[in-house]
Structure 1
């Protein structure tokens, strides 16, 4: 992949306020067409582009009711002539006026920066077909994206979503795309209007990763498949995923991923009338129920979550995905005996990587800790004696710039919204007349829990928080998945070795510290729920 240009786009962002409705309008067929190229003739070969194309197609077909009326263009079939004919001939003949089309490309992308007398006068984005010559640029062998989007925009479908997973894909759109960062929630009128939306895997100065945490997929497409598979892209938990809601989800998740230097972009292109493709999770198939259940949990709708999990247990009780969701339910209900049984079953099943949000190592870590932690985790939230305020600031800000985090109603919870990569700290005050020791564990949005060091000041760690004293916790950085995470604070009138030397990840059933019953009875707990803000 060639080096990207260093120029930066200045794109206007806008918020579109809408009203959530209950039932989507009837739509036509939902179709998916994919192009994937690993085996380039002259360009560097890729590892996952073909798997990305086929994997996304199968996810949309198997789980969300799409169909694939046109065979994928894979490797040697994805020539410049074939890609052009796909748009101008096959899709034009196939599509009908009420159809939804997802068109996906995975392969190389490129940018040409045009200069006159040393001054940049324009940029042109390209996708690279399989036979394109290289490594020296032969621009006539590539496909210009702006004219390609013009042709796509004129196809007769009501809703078209173009997804480009290629290096430098974000440059590509130039004046063709109006870019924005806000998820348009479902509104009946929006799904009747024409929509032309595009999601790109990287901005034009960035390289898109060909691999990621989900085996066989790039970081971008793996996250996209995961968003559909588990309903994570349903950011507002209404059982519907709009095209721009999907764009915001993928942008947040990929931008924050470990080792990622790419930020996807999304927006509209020619002939868009502020409409939205709407992908429903509301049918009663196993995959739709599973996605809705996970989305309900991530948005704090625990009553709905429990109802859906019970349906899944009746549907496929031994399925690894059902077991994972039941584990989340039993953990939330403090039914740790059943949670342990489920973890043991999942360890025996050894689900393939990426099938559930917890890895095999995560499962072993949880199993190693949960036996000794279950009495503490079961403590109810009653009578916590300390005053706690959640404070946030920008990563580059100073401690003096800390301000109170925004607290909102989040499903059945009250939670704090904390933007990605914001620094947050807890301000803890002891209003009592006695010294109190304070400890903490974190339960992340995937259900992995671990003890967390609360204090940077070792004196407080050992001696406790004195009467009438106020202290700030360690600084924490908001990272991880979109969804609900939890901090549990525990107070005790005495220093507890159990918390100072806890069972931690990697214990694997070894010798671990146990908490005594008399100490357990004096512990009080407070839960703090927080979620990543949906506005980057």
Structure 2
């Protein structure tokens, strides 16, 4: 088995083990993970209609008050910006105006996907039966509706012409890009258009709020169902539904789990009980939802009241420290003039400056909306030091006093000092001065620019034979420069004569030109005076520093030049077997040696702890390295088999757990709708018990398979380290190290 395949299988097994440990039969938890910012912006359309000019017998008293209270609550409590909340009252709430404002939310230049939209309506509504038994259609009745008396049988033609059908709201919502949309309707007989309430994302999940915050949703809460009148009460100054809506949001009574976030589902759950109780069962709010997210009402933090504090300090550059009275946490403010805002309360104020006596005022009281004036005057101390400042120095100058770099201005004791000032591109300036107490010294050096040397060019010469003597002579100045064994030299620009010499070889000269900031490459080959006696060259690229080379038993150094003929080349290196090779070299030949390094002691296997560590990472590999290949294959097969079995049993456990969770959620929802035991609830109880037993059995089998998998893995590591000994005939590995042809790196190959 290849290690990468085995590691992939092992990773899947470990992921399954982690999942079972956190996704098993755990009870719901209230650990919530809210993102820092849920909505980019909040938008609201709030409608309240008391007066219906075409319905003289059907006027309302508190719908406008309802709408005004909801709009103010959204702005003050939940952070909706005032300009993003549209309030339509009475004559403003015509059908055309309502639909225009609603359709404005479809403008992607205004509303973003990361926004939320809330639509609130308080007024009349009606449910109209459709012809041929096709069901019913709910309508919201705008200010300018002409539909006759609400107590008479409704005419579907008039309602479709003058009113807003509930499905029109749904169609408009489909074009709004915001991820969370909620309609809250306090109207008589309005009915629902969305699907009935369903489970959505499991609230027991630790990251429930993070999930619903990212998931789209459209929700609708209405004040009651078909045939139910939405009550208004003078003693409340509101409709019952909106009164409880305001209480649930403003006092956070709808926050069922106490996480300081009210979801649309929590709001409906609160309203369903509160409105039902206050109306003695006459009014039953309804809830509809599309998609699995949840509208989030997030109360905004209230900033503490602030007052103004004006501090006038002399001298103006003194450092002001303002500390809340009774607090040890200091927050310094550098005040030059004007005022600062601070939370109301008592403060201790201190002014400090080098060379001045510290001044303080304690328990300065700052009141709301009032500017508190504080004046502080610092008295100068008698001078005890001298100051060196940099008012005449450029910003890039560096100042050293007695050899130590300092920052300007610099305060020191009286005495004699050596001042050195450095600046890039200029010669340093040194000043000796004697300072007295209270003196302020401002160095003003005269700068002289540094003369830059001419740019150089680089000459590189490759010569054969390699030990030839190289020199270069300037044609312009006549200066001669010797070139070392590296073959490289930096030269001023100009024309030169390059000369190469060696005993028993004909010398050679060549005219060259050196260009600034460029490399000039020259290749020279000297011809032997007697070709039969030309030396051969032995080259060993990338030779390790600890290697020693000998030819015919005599140590040699680079370049390895030998006479033509048969030679024994030997390279010794600590920790490796000697490399030895016999080679017949011809005159002028350049022979490249690529030694193969065999570690001393290769083939002895691994130490026990090393073999154990290897098999702990990759099962069976330690056995392979110890020379027990068949044993390694057995462990690989067993661990792979138990691992696959663990994946299968763990997957089966998760499947049974999901079945159990689905039935449990369905039972919970059914019990929320019914207040008594029904046949369906009884069947769901029985099915839940069976699925629970099935999930427990699957979990036990998964745990057994995982324990078997882990035990085999651990035993395989112990076996590799301590239960087997290296097979001397078939253990370990040899390392073959040889330089690459380009001489850049070493390549290591391992063979088992």
Structure of greater relative contact order (alpha carbons < 8 Å, 6+ residues apart)? 1
Highest Rg: 1 or 2? Answer: 2
Normalising by structure 2, report the TM-score.
Answer: 0.33
Normalising by structure 1, report the TM-score.
Answer: 0.46
Q: Which has the higher strand share?
A: 2
Q: Which has the higher helix share?
A: 1
